[in-house]
Structure 1
Amino acid sequence: MEGVPTHQGLLDALPIAACVTDAEGRLTYCNHAAAELLGYQPKPGSQSWHDRCTLFWPDGRRMDFDESPFAMKPGKDASAFGDAILAERPDGTRKALTVSTTPTDHDGSTGYIHLLTDVTDRRDAEIASARLAAIVSSSDDAIVSKRLDGTVTSWNDGAARIFGYQPEEMIGRSIRKIIPPELQAEEDDILARLCRGERIGHFDTVRLAKDGQRVHLSLTISPVLDGSGNVIGASKIARDITERKRSEELQHLLFNELNHRVKNTLAMIQAIASQSLRTASKPAQFVDSFNGRVNALARAHDLLVQHEMKGAGIHDLVRDQVSLGAANERRVTYSGPGLLLESRTAVHLALVLHELATNARKYGALSIPEGALSITWKVDVRHGRVLHLHWRESGVANLQAPRKRGFGTTLIDRSLEANRGEVHLDFGADGIVCDIELPLPEEERYSFTEAAIGANNENLVRKGAGSARHGKRILIVEDEPLIAMELESTLASHGFEVVGPASHVESAIRLIGQERLDAALLDANLGGKPVTDVAEALAEKGVPFAFGTGFGREALPAGFRHVEIVPKPFETDRLIDTVDRILTSGDQPATVVPLKPKRKS
């Protein structure tokens, strides 16, 4: 054939793909190996032979034919094609090629021979290797390789972060450097299993970081094989599970602590019941004293939960135990540095404050309109850290000390004694004065703040309330039968007329629509369902209500989180005061979210 070089026979016999172009880039010859590589048999004599095989630069950009090595002309530099180019065959598959171009004469004036080498597998392997290297480098896990004698051969950034050693500090050294002494035998077992070709799945172990800290790891170890299938080393992937282990230990500790606290609390309640019963002269007195002390524990527990069981703030403790959360009791004031008392101390001090406050409300300064109570405290650091709390009642004339020592006084003494504290109680001419000294841990910090409680005395609020309650209809919405029964009897005993109780949303809404209501006490959750519909129905009808719940405000329906809360377990005084207050104020809790449109009948 004209234009075909005389060495065509030689090129046909070669297993290497080859083609020949003339000085104008027209194909003059293509051997069978080249046709197989390109995916079709080009026709000699035309520059259009390349149209069915699109070319691309290594980075994926399309390559014009004039830019390709097949368009070589005299004087053109063939060195630009040292890297592989991509050829897309008619069937859509791509091959990576290197092209070696040689002129058929001394200057290429008659044409060029192009030898094509398929490097697709090599290029894919290089890409896969680069991709793997990027994954290894960027992984948060430690990825390490070693020889069978334990010598480290690679150490990624994840390993450097977890163990603190940089690659140059570990590569070429033994992996045993990070293995604790008591676990060296573990490494011997690992190497023995690797030599047998075993892959070692996830197992938890411990390694040593550069700073001496022990790091909990989840390890996966795989053998590394040479081309003949012989084991020549191992690769390790180590995930830092230190935080997970700490969480598991903390969870276990918390469960044990919870078990202890629950049993301890039950034992305290059992003791309170027994001691309250022994000192009560009649059943009603026992119920009042027992409920009061249990509620004191509940309020203290709420404060502990707010601080993740680490302790309770003394300001909150005084407010909750002395004022029962009233917002404006002007006759009770307190001030002192802000302190976070550890949980055991906080519970004991809560009981002490409750006993003092109960006595003040029954017999002391808060039992008469003229009385007042001042509570101050400070921290003395001269001989360790000691809390000094001064309780002073005033306005109580002719106060006399009790003839016999009651349970409340004994509880105060024993609670402080258990914390290495002391109490001095004086029944003065103007009222009770109580001085408490309580040692504090050295590590606690505090800052000075002041606060005051203010509200009219509960006796003043209740003055004349009995007659005002007659005929007032209170809806009870509560799904716990025992609690509903207790609420019903408590409200009825104070002169209210009870509607319900309603134990689910549907019955509550039905009663709201059918009955005349003056106020309502609404559980924040009924059988696991929110009470938004009930709250909206009450608000729409203009019925004031309060939530009775053991949860905080975040658990209330959105739009009603400003509504007053009576915390569970209920304390009679606070429950009745709240109902009196919402009846007297007449404020209806308007929702801040749109009410649902009524359904058309």
Structure 2
Amino acid sequence: MEDADSPRTADNADDLAELERRARLVDELGQELDDTNRGLIALHTELEAARRAEARLAAIVASSDDAMISVDPALLVQTWNPGAQRLFGHAQEHVLDHAIGLLMPDAAFDAFRAVAKEIRSHGHADSYQSRWRRTDGTEVDVAVTVSPMRDLDGALIGFATVARDITHQLTAQAELAAARADREVMAERDRIARDLHDMVIQRVFGAGLVLQSITTRITRPDATSRIHAVIDELDATIRELRGTIFNLNQPAQKAASLRSQVLDETTAARDRLGCAPAVEFHGPVDAALTDETAAHLLAALREALSNVARHAHASAVHVAVRAGDELLLEVADNGRGIDPAVTRSSGLTNLRRRAENLGGTFEVIGRSEGGTRLRWCIPLKDPAAPTDPAHA
């Protein structure tokens, strides 16, 4: 038998220790592989959840009726959803990498830049209302929300912009305001009617009774006849007051809308023009204009159509009325163009004077395709605008 301390026995012990070391190493590697596998599974789960969340977000952006637009710090359009195309008419390839000012009149772009500046300075800005422009040149009322986009380090990388069409909302608000005003007017009319009935008529009637009692004590015929004449006047006054009370208790009659009045004017001018004018409206024409402003517009329209009928010899006439911060009337024709003598006509002078008295502008220019374009423009938000200019 070999001695336990022999070299062979020592070699066996070393082999056993090496096997145990390797077994431990295999176990440790197996544990690491298991941990790595669980980590990969968790990472895959997180990535899949992020992918699904991103897909849901993309579906929301793609299906939204609102215009959702992202711009870089230089205000160049980077993304453009289908809602933006439906609202403004631009295809995505026509707006990407272009300034977002493409969608706005100058004043609206100035407002957008001010909001972007506010976000850069303070990190946020309030929503606001504006008027943006479609591809066909018409303008649409929108509620605009601008939010900052930042990278992981918090640096500003652009602005997320949402524009919502609020045309119907503004129309509904104007109609609601008009309905409330009507109710207030009717309440005031009812109060006045009650006061007339309960106070004024009773006093007049009482005065008539006193005069009748006096006539029995007067013997002079001329004095008696004069008193009876006064009594008759008081009776007539009572009848008129009762008629007034009846009218006050009736609902106020609605005046025809400005749109319908413009259409009536253009229809009435058809025979003189020799053609039926095409008419278009932009903005809250009926809601934005006071009765006085509407009267000025209709007078300007009548004069402009009369001028076309007298001088243009046109076969087509186009009328456009735009209401926003200002009221713009455009009358374009395809007639024989501008005659220098016509610019000195009394009709054009009246149009110019009417516009200037209201703080506006007036011009008559030639069209490149032939004919003439008349532009009559006045501000709508100037409370100090003069009234009662010379009538055309």
TM-score by length of 1: 0.29
- Give the strand-richer structure, 1 or 2: 1
Higher CA-based Rg: 1
Q: Which has the higher helix share?
A: 2
- Between 1 and 2, higher relative CO (CA 8 Å, sep ≥ 6) is seen in 2
TM-score by length of 2: 0.43
